[in-house]
Structures are given as C-alpha cells and as structure tokens.
Amino acid sequence: MPRYEHKCLKDICEFLFEVTYGIKEEPKINCPKCASPTQRQIGKNIMFETPVDVDWEGDPKDLSPKSFKQYQEAKKIKYKW
C-alpha cells in the first residue's frame, strides 16, 4: 500500500508524518500530536521501481547455460523512474 505524507493544519503544530492507506481511500486523518485536521502533501522525491521486461522469441530454456543465466539476471533488474 502507498504511503502518504500529511501535515497538520494548525500553525502552532505543523507536524509532518506518513500514513499508509489504499489509493482509492480518502480517510479523514487527524494529527497524532494535537488531533487537528491534516492535509495530504505532495512528495518531492518519488521513485517507482518496475521489473525490466525481457522479451524472448522462443523458449528461453533452449538457450545456452551462459545465455540462460544472463536472461535470468536481466529479469531481476529493476528499472527506476
């Protein structure tokens, strides 16, 4: 589940914290320090990781042992964007 940053709306507090909830949920989150309403913040440093797609014509098991090992290693690589 994604984590979202929330910030307390009270000028005195302005506590910043993370909350985990589903993408489709829009819960009313209160500050854990002063119980005031909060506002979700837009994160600055967001990174997504996805597996690299390795397309192969034919069955990869027909490859040489060295090539098959390279194929397996390529499937483990994460693409960051």
**What 3-state class would DSSP assign to 81?**
coil
Neighbour count for residue 34 (Cβ, 10 Å): 13
**Banded model confidence at residue 22, pLDDT cuts 50, 70, 90:** confident
Q: Choose among 50, 48, 14, 20: nearest CA to 33.
A: 14
* Of residues 53 and 1, more confidently modeled: 1
Query: What pLDDT does residue 3 have?
Result: 83
Query: What pLDDT does residue 37 have?
Result: 93
* Of residues 18 and 44, more confidently modeled: 18
Please indicate, yes or no, whether the overall pTM of this predicted structure exceeds 0.85.
no
Q: Choose among 9, 58, 75: nearest CA to 38.
A: 9
**Banded model confidence at residue 9, pLDDT cuts 50, 70, 90:** very high
Q: Mean pLDDT across the chain, nearest whole number? A: 79
Neighbour count for residue 13 (Cβ, 10 Å): 15
